[in-house]
Amino acid sequence: MSIDDAVFTTLLDNSVAGTYKGYERALQTGSIKFSDLVNLARKGDIPYTLFFAPIALVREQVGKKTAKLLAGVSRDTFSLGARAKVELRDVELIVKDLIRKQQLLRKHDASLRPNKIIGLLHHDTTSADADASTLSSALGLSYERLRACRSKEKALDLMIERLEANQVLVSRSVQNYMPQRLTHVQFSGMTVRDNKVPYIFLAGGDHGDDQEPVGRTIFTLALMTVLVARRIFAPMTWDGGSTETGPGREYDIAGAMLMPAERMRRLAFASLDEVKAASNEFKVTASAVAVRAMRLGLIDQRTAGEHLDQLRGEFRSRPKGGPRSPIHPENAVRKYNGRELTVRMLHTLDSGGISAGEFCRSICLNHLKPSRIEDLRRAVQ
């Protein structure tokens, strides 16, 4: 049987299956076994009969699928000082899953209210400091509360807690517990639109800019919170260790939330030790402190660049960690879903809104059986 080349490439180039080696081999050889075609179709969530449809119908179906995805996430990547771009297919299955969870929660939870964080920062005439103050106040997340945290991990937990208390859901990457692996793409995360429960997805992993992970994640989360408040919903990449590109207003608002200008001006940043001490106070990376100090005019670009070069060298010379302890399935499900969605959907389960089987399929992606739901309940307490 023959398949129209345009049909074959259109369907697979617009799905996660386009990243698999079986697709590359088929393009090189000009042929594919039927069983391999069905397997690729299954991985790409494509009805395999579409491979034998006219190209006009295929393009129409791909357009409808893309339109549904773009209802929650813009095709364009929001990029700050980074050249990396994210293809929609790289995150397609995660986007679809988070949108489905948003819809499920809206269907079953009548207590949800219109979100007050979305669009909160809709003016460009106010200063970054004023916008940071407005957003921090709305979240109940002051600099003093963050500074009082004993560690960066505790500060990150506090930020997530305050976001979810304001109906902004936070999902964190957990390989093998998401509908799609992110081994071939580097990006910071994405914001997914919903008028009541927008999602922030934190990609985690190695971003290639040589910064310690937790401090980087804190700044990433602040930056993505600013995107939600400015009604920007898109995959996002940013380079946290560059002095060359002006990262823009969103970066400055996030910086002001975590590193207030008034406090920064009381500190010195001439030496790397001073920069590191400030990073512990502000619960961000030393690189973020150096760039923020430069943008406030507290150090010049040359000094900031020297600090960043030293920090990169130190990071690269660190001994690599050994194998990580395996994460328990209930903790992985909680981390990927976010605590707030998990708790609310457990209430739906308890009230009879969904069955245990449906809960395990739609909320746990079948990584937990009904007999393990109590383990998940304990994980969110």
Same domain, 291 and 185: yes
Which among 70, 93, 113 is the end of a domain? 70
Same domain, 140 and 287: yes
What is the C-alpha radius of gyration for the chain, rounded to an integer number of angstroms? 22
Question: pLDDT digits over 70-116, tens only?
Answer: 677 776 777 776 666 777 778 888 888 899 899 999 999 999 999 99
Same domain, 182 and 292: yes
Single out the residue of 308, 277, 314, 311 nearest to residue 294, CA to CA: 308
Higher pLDDT pick, 370 / 207: 370
Q: Which of 10-14, 124-128, 363-367 has the lowest mean pLDDT?
A: 10-14
Same domain, 28 and 117: no
Residue 275 inside a domain? The answer is: yes
Same domain, 102 and 238: yes
Same domain, 278 and 155: yes
Find the mean pLDDT for residues 127-132: 96
Q: How confident is the model at residue 208 (pLDDT cuts 50, 70, 90)?
A: low
Find the mean pLDDT for residues 161-170: 98
Residue 89 inside a domain? The answer is: yes
Which pLDDT does position 209 carry in this prediction?
A: 55
Q: Which of 203-212, 221-230, 244-253 has the lowest mean pLDDT?
A: 203-212
Which pLDDT does position 218 carry in this prediction?
A: 96
Total domains, the chain: 3
Same domain, 119 and 175: yes
Which among 282, 317, 352 is the end of a domain? 317
Q: How confident is the model at residue 321 (pLDDT cuts 50, 70, 90)?
A: low
Same domain, 151 and 116: yes
Residue 39 inside a domain? The answer is: yes
CA pair distance 370, 244, nearest whole angstrom: 52
Question: pLDDT digits over 243-266, tens only?
Answer: 655 568 899 999 999 999 999 999
Instruction: Give me the percent of the chain exceeding a pLDDT of 70.
Output: 92
Q: Tell me the two tokens of residue 53.
A: 């449809």
Residue 324 inside a domain? The answer is: no
Which pLDDT does position 257 carry in this prediction?
A: 97
Same domain, 27 and 92: no
Same domain, 49 and 87: no
Taking all residues of the chain, what is their mean pLDDT, rounded to a whole number? 89
Which pLDDT does position 243 carry in this prediction?
A: 64
β-strand partners of 78: 236
Question: pLDDT digits over 29-73, tens only?
Answer: 999 999 999 999 988 889 999 999 999 999 999 888 777 766 777
Q: How confident is the model at residue 322 (pLDDT cuts 50, 70, 90)?
A: low
Same domain, 238 and 364: no
Residue 168 inside a domain? The answer is: yes
Which among 17, 42, 70 is the end of a domain? 70
Same domain, 163 and 294: yes
The domain of 19 spans 5-70
Residue 322 inside a domain? The answer is: no
Instruction: Give me the percent of the chain exceeding a pLDDT of 90.
Output: 68
Residue 155 inside a domain? The answer is: yes
Residue 347 inside a domain? The answer is: yes
Q: How confident is the model at residue 179 (pLDDT cuts 50, 70, 90)?
A: confident
Question: pLDDT digits over 323-340, tens only?
Answer: 667 789 999 999 999 999
